[in-house]
Amino acid sequence: MSIIKILRLTLPALAATAALLLTACEPPAPEPQIDWQPPGFELADAAGETFRYPDDLDGPAIVLFWASWCPYCKALMPHLQSIVEESGGTIEVLALNFRDDSDPAEFMAEYGYDFRLFPASDAVAEAWGIKGTPGLFLVDATGRAVFSNHAIPEEAFSHSPAALVEEMKHYQKAARRAPVWASELRKAIDRTLL
């Protein structure tokens, strides 16, 4: 059999095998991170008061892993502030700052956010499996995560052509994602408070 015939017979099989191997090597899709009990932690907040999660929860709370440089966090935080105000303070935002070289307390003060700030929360972010910002959760009074921004399907974010979305800058994508995250979070709060 000639080399050309051998190649014609084996190349398709090799290509199929390579495609199968590449698919098997892809990292798994991130877990939606809902309906699970995140690990507990003990941290001092920006005022120096110790907080023990989940023991010190007074009810449902929003847990936000964020950084001041993150355009998605910047777009989301005004929505979270409005949720705090709408709830009359019954919903607290635990703002766990990580991977940030700036002063998170200065950032919070500049924008007037009423969140409970935990600076330098890198160890908690790692324990919770947070790889990037923002990590947004709603936890019930027992600390069980009942909502995560990672559980929202991708198709919920844009009805624009994919090529247009691909060309967008991060701040433009953030402006589209933040209202969806906030809307879905509000629905989860309503379900949790029933």
What tens digit of pLDDT does each residue of 143-158 get?
A: 999 999 999 988 888 6
Q: Model's pTM, two decimal places?
A: 0.81
CA 107 – CA 192 distance, rounded (Å): 30
Mean pLDDT in residue range 89-116? 96
Domain 26-193, architecture per CATH:
3-Layer(aba) Sandwich (3.40)
What tens digit of pLDDT does each residue of 106-147 get?
A: 999 999 999 999 999 999 999 999 999 999 999 999 999 999
The residue ranges of every structural domain in the chain are 26-193
Mean pLDDT in residue range 84-105? 96
Residue 187: C-alpha distances to residues 20, 110, 191 (Å): 40, 29, 6
Query: Which of residues 30 and 188 earns the better pLDDT score?
Result: 188
CA 41 – CA 22 distance, rounded (Å): 38
